[in-house]
């Protein structure tokens, strides 16, 4: 069967060259006579993989020397608790901006551990915008300020980062990770699940500024203490070895494309193709304010629910799969992460045009 165009929000497409290399090395990685899936994480051959992946992350993202790269488990959702557990040890206060479902979950989780302030929310606008912030509302002595950089479900993204001064900015970047250059120095902590742009599900990556390590509350489980992870080279317990291996291959693939600057140009082009068609369509609409549109997750709806369902069914029959919108939103969502080729977006636009002509 021919490969389909997979528009899933995650787990999502991986580059075909990465999949082909992984397949070739499944039984024998680098002459070791064993698969990465079965080798000891304490072996020299695996250490080359995990340390190589960390080094590549630094190189690809331009991560400053005073930041640590952590390979974790539990998904971004576990970090909703790990963030307050590791950082709420000063004033016990934190500021949150709620821009979608995952920011909401993070805000609710943090409330278990300290004095958490909802600085702003776009819930009243059905998360179609990033809310206007008023610095006077920020908590001056907050231990951190939290945002979700890209809204996977509703398809919005921060156009400009909040200015938080000396308060560390913490961001969940699960669905924008490695999609474009990002100035790491503007953040105290970055984290995200790997299953969208980095690797298969099972790996979570965090980038933590060194001065924020060692601040965990006393009741923080060791496996969730970032300092413990750093001191054990992300191998306090058995890491997700295979996912880290694929992560390394993906980072090498990004380098062959020309790095994040080249990916940004390609991702912007793909998103523009899709948004331009939707904006000119008489059948499809996008609910997100243009200045806040995600370049990774493009949401759209047809004129009514019957047409939405018909579109999803017809799209799947033509090899455009996992394009149904999140169950909490409905409609459609095309997640066009790094591995989605330009040809996939072009083909989708042509299919949308034909569907509209047939149903207008």
What's the CATH number of domain 16-256, 2.60.120.260, 3.40.50.2000, 3.40.640.10, 3.40.50.920?
Answer: 3.40.640.10
d(CA 112, CA 123): 21
Q: How many CB atoms lie within 10 A of CB 232?
A: 12
Q: Look at residue 357 and give its three-state secondary structure.
A: helix
d(CA 196, CA 324): 16
CA nearest to 120, candidates 91, 96, 149, 86: 96
> Token pair of 360, please?
């207008």
d(CA 203, CA 196): 11
CA nearest to 85, candidates 114, 106, 108: 114
> Token pair of 306, please?
């019957």
Q: How many CB atoms lie within 10 A of CB 230?
A: 18
User: pTM of the predicted model, to two decimals?
Assistant: 0.96
- How high is the pLDDT of residue 330? 87
The residues with which 170 forms a beta bridge, in sequence order, are: 146, 189
What are the tens digits of pLDDT across the range 231-259?
999 999 999 999 999 999 999 999 999 99
What are the tens digits of pLDDT across the range 294-305?
999 999 999 999
Instruction: Give 262-324 as a 3 state SS string.
Output: HHHHHHHHHHHHHHHHHHHCCCCECCCCHHHECCCEEEEECCCHHHHHHHHHHHHHCCEECCE
Q: What's the CATH architecture for 5-13+258-358?
A: Alpha-Beta Complex (3.90)
> Token pair of 340, please?
């989605």
DSSP per-residue letters across 138-173: S-TT-SEEEEESEETTTTEE-SS----TTSPEEEE-
Q: Could you state, in order of their start, the residue ranges of all structural domains in the chain?
A: 5-13+258-358, 16-256
- How high is the pLDDT of residue 349? 98
d(CA 243, CA 202): 7
d(CA 124, CA 137): 19
What are the tens digits of pLDDT across the range 173-194?
999 999 999 999 999 999 999 9
- How high is the pLDDT of residue 175? 97
CA nearest to 138, candidates 110, 166, 113: 166
Do the Cβ atoms of 110 and 139 come closer than 8 Å?
A: no
> Token pair of 87, please?
């950082």
- How high is the pLDDT of residue 329? 85
Query: What are all long-range contacts of 167-171, with beta carbons under 8 Å and residues at least 24 apart?
Result: 167/95, 167/138, 167/139, 167/140, 167/142, 167/143, 168/87, 168/143, 168/144, 168/209, 168/212, 169/144, 169/145, 170/83, 170/87, 170/144, 170/145, 170/146, 171/146, 171/147
Residue with tokens 């390394």: 248
- How high is the pLDDT of residue 1? 63
* Angle, vertex CA 335, rays to CA 333 and CA 336, nearest 5: 135
Element (H, E) at 120: strand 115-121
- pLDDT tens for the chain, 360 residues long, are 689 999 999 999 999 999 999 999 999 999 999 999 999 999 999 999 999 999 999 999 999 999 999 999 999 999 999 999 999 999 999 999 999 999 999 999 999 999 999 999 999 999 999 999 999 999 999 999 999 999 999 999 999 999 999 999 999 999 999 999 999 999 999 999 999 999 999 999 999 999 999 999 999 999 999 999 999 999 999 999 999 999 999 999 999 999 999 999 999 999 999 999 999 999 999 999 999 999 999 999 999 999 999 999 999 999 999 999 998 888 999 999 999 999 999 999 999 999 999 998
- How high is the pLDDT of residue 105? 98
CA nearest to 158, candidates 137, 179, 143: 179
């Amino acid at each position: 069967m021919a490969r389909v165009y997979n528009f899933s929000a995650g787990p999502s497409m991986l580059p075909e060259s990465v999949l082909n290399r992984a397949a070739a090395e499944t039984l024998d990685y680098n002459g070791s006579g064993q698969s990465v899936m079965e080798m000891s994480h304490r072996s020299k051959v695996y250490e080359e993989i995990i340390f190589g992946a960390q080094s590549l992350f630094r190189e690809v993202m331009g991560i400053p020397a005073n930041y640590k790269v952590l390979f974790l488990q539990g998904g971004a959702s576990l970090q909703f608790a790990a963030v307050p557990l590791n950082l709420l040890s000063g004033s016990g206060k934190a500021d949150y901006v709620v821009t979608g479902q995952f920011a909401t979950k993070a805000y609710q989780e943090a409330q278990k551990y300290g004095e958490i302030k909802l600085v702003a929310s776009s819930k009243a606008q059905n998360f179609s915008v990033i809310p206007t912030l008023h610095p006077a509302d920020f908590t001056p002595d907050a231990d951190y300020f939290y945002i979700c950089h890209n809204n996977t479900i509703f398809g919005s993204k921060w156009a400009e980062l909040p200015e938080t001064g000396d308060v560390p900015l913490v961001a969940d970047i699960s669905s924008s990770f490695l999609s474009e250059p990002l100035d790491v120095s503007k953040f105290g902590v970055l984290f995200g699940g790997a299953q969208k742009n980095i690797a298969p599900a099972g790996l979570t990556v965090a980038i933590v500024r060194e001065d924020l390590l060692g601040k965990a509350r006393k009741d923080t489980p060791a496996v969730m203490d970032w300092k413990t992870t750093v001191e054990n080279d992300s191998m306090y317990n058995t890491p997700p070895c295979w996912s880290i291996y694929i992560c390394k291959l993906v980072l090498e693939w990004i380098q062959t494309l020309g790095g994040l600057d080249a990916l940004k140009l390609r991702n912007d082009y793909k998103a523009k193709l899709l948004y331009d068609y939707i904006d000119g369509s008489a059948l499809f609409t996008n609910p997100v304010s243009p200045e806040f549109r995600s370049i990774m997750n493009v949401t759209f709806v047809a004129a009514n629910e019957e047409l939405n369902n018909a579109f999803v069914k017809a799209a799947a029959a033509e090899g455009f799969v996992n394009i149904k919108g999140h169950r909490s939103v409905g409609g459609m969502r095309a997640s066009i992460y790094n591995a989605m080729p330009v040809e996939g977006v072009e083909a989708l636009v042509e299919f949308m045009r034909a569907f509209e002509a047939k149903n207008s």
